[in-house]
Structure 1
């Protein structure tokens, strides 16, 4: 017996990524599953990794035998990425030997099916693992999601950030952190009341979250009206562009705030970055971001303070009252 809905999500809301170098095999799998879930397909391991950078499927059907990069190698690379490590992967293999089964389990799959695929077996195994995924995701929301704003909470930050730092060090990629603070929020609460204050925080959080374009980018509520945006594999120019866009997006919400010099809700932000060639701890990077946030608050609010940009890339100023400065 399958439970079709857990929380707000149903099986039909789930997505499955099919990875197979043969078009006929992809078509067969899609045909067998398209009435149950949304299916997307790619033809190689590299395409699967690239797809998962921008999308987060609920389950992956992975062909084992593929040229250039086989299913085992692809799975190993996906398991190294914090945003992908918990995606269940079912191997599709033409071999049913004990040695191949053992290799599949060792590679990190949750199950496997043997070619030629039995339609009934495939559908039921996919449903079973998706049901488990729905339950896990729902439990994660209870543990890791801030109930008021819908952003991640500090429990999530404590679990996610150390793994992200290791991933950044392993791949020699930059990791950017941006701390946002709602300007004059105490005055907003005093003037409009705590219910409107809660509504304001929810709108700001949802707006920021909706404006983040990559699954790997995360929004965390770290204090009352303070939020952290984590931007993996993002240099200072890219992080400034993201932060600049988020500040402007919240500014454009035009939430009335008569106690603010801007007449509306605005954000101040501080940015810091950990690069591949520095020895800064992540706690030190957080402290740098917090210091830059303080500088933004004391120099006029409604602005971002960041590390200096390279001479060829200047931060864009979205509007006269919304300035981006380097510190």
Structure 2
């Protein structure tokens, strides 16, 4: 996909001019005010923003401050386009997070050179961030990426008063698997399980990450505990359907997983031994981990919550796998 450029200026003529000069470098979007720029940027994150310094209402400097304060927009480079040429204005721009300055009247050669340079730098920094947040073996997000997503989604759940569900997933008797089949086979097993877990999630907002060793963590925004249990059953079945041999396993000689489910919609009574005070994202993870321990303690190859819903059964019996799981798209 070509890069996205957001042009922000209260002068439509200048926007049209820059759009013509930059049209071959990416997809052009525009806004004529700071407020509109923020709405556009939040709706679809751009790769580069060209921002007029002086606009009625919310000026460019205040707009840049708001952009840099947004976690999902803070890494987007901002080039100020301004008629100011004095050092004070440039220093102010850099202090609020600007990447560069272009002075009016705009020169075609300078404009294209600066934009091309910053798009290339953005592409390189994006790739470095991707590598830093990806587990090389499974190609899933790593623990760092998961922790960042958890913090972001927890804040969103509080702001929008929506539930957030977390699943902890562990490959059953994985040490025995490595001992029996060797570590290269263990690496293949980890990768196959990782792809099965990722493929079983229906929504683009859902996330599965390698948490460490043979453990995975799943984040389900806007999802209740009951919805999380539906997803957990889907994940259990997806791994079983790989039919990876495991003579030391618990699921008829094939690889299986155990899953702990916890959601922020659980009542204080259901939280059991959670830390005293207001629940937080760390408490959510602790409850998912305790539920995983319960699944292991009760025989593995199953999903559990701290306080299982009435009628919860092991998926190995076949009764816990409902035919309508594939249509459960909202998990709520």
Note the alpha carbon deviations across 1:94-146, whole angstroms, 9 max, x for none: 43344432332222111122233222111111121222223323333443321
Alpha-carbon distance between aligned partners in 2 of 1:194 and 1:54, rounded to the nearest angstrom: 42
Asked whether 1:69 is paired with 2:61, we answer no
The secondary structure found in structure 1 opposite 2:212 is coil
Deviation at 1:242, TM superposition (A): 7.9
Q: Which runs of 5+ in 1 are unaligned?
A: 1-11, 310-316
The secondary structure found in structure 2 opposite 1:222 is strand
Note the alpha carbon deviations across 1:267-320, whole angstroms, 9 max, x for none: 735234399xx63454333212222344566498565749999xxxxxxx9934
Which residue is equivalent to 1:37?
Answer: 26
Deviation at 1:17, TM superposition (A): 2.8
Asked whether 1:82 is paired with 2:82, we answer no
Which residue is equivalent to 2:288?
Answer: 289
Which residue is equivalent to 2:186?
Answer: 194
TM-score (normalised: structure 1): 0.66
Asked whether 1:137 is paired with 2:126, we answer yes
Alpha-carbon distance between aligned partners in 2 of 1:49 and 1:123, rounded to the nearest angstrom: 24
Q: Indicate conservation of the 8 Å contact 1:15/1:59, yes or no.
A: yes
Which residue is equivalent to 2:166?
Answer: 178
Which residue is equivalent to 1:118?
Answer: 107
Asked whether 1:279 is paired with 2:270, we answer no
Pairs within 5 Å for 1:230-245: 230=219, 237=224
Specify whether residues 101 and 319 from structure 1 end up closer, same or farther in structure 2 by C-alpha distance, changes over 3 A only.
Answer: same
Note the alpha carbon deviations across 1:226-276, whole angstroms, 9 max, x for none: 333456xx5554x87688568648856953457747x8977735234399x
One of 187, 192, 196 as aligned partner of 1:204: 196
Note the alpha carbon deviations across 1:38-66, whole angstroms, 9 max, x for none: 33334544444444445433222223344
Asked whether 1:58 is paired with 2:47, we answer yes
Alpha-carbon distance between aligned partners in 2 of 1:140 and 1:62, rounded to the nearest angstrom: 25
The secondary structure found in structure 2 opposite 1:40 is strand
Which residue is equivalent to 1:255?
Answer: 242
Alpha-carbon distance between aligned partners in 2 of 1:289 and 1:26, rounded to the nearest angstrom: 51
Q: Indicate conservation of the 8 Å contact 1:271/1:289, yes or no.
A: yes
Alpha-carbon distance between aligned partners in 1 of 2:94 and 2:157, rounded to the nearest angstrom: 27
Note the alpha carbon deviations across 1:25-46, whole angstroms, 9 max, x for none: 4333332222223333345444
Specify whether residues 153 and 20 from structure 1 end up closer, same or farther in structure 2 by C-alpha distance, changes over 3 A only.
Answer: same
Alpha-carbon distance between aligned partners in 2 of 1:242 and 1:119, rounded to the nearest angstrom: 54
Which residue is equivalent to 1:108?
Answer: 97
Alpha-carbon distance between aligned partners in 2 of 1:99 and 1:60, rounded to the nearest angstrom: 21
Which residue is equivalent to 1:319?
Answer: 322
Alpha-carbon distance between aligned partners in 1 of 2:307 and 2:55, rounded to the nearest angstrom: 44
Alpha-carbon distance between aligned partners in 1 of 2:42 and 2:237, rounded to the nearest angstrom: 29
Q: Which runs of 5+ in 2 are unaligned?
A: 267-276, 310-319
Asked whether 1:270 is paired with 2:261, we answer yes
Give the number of equivalent residue pairs: 297
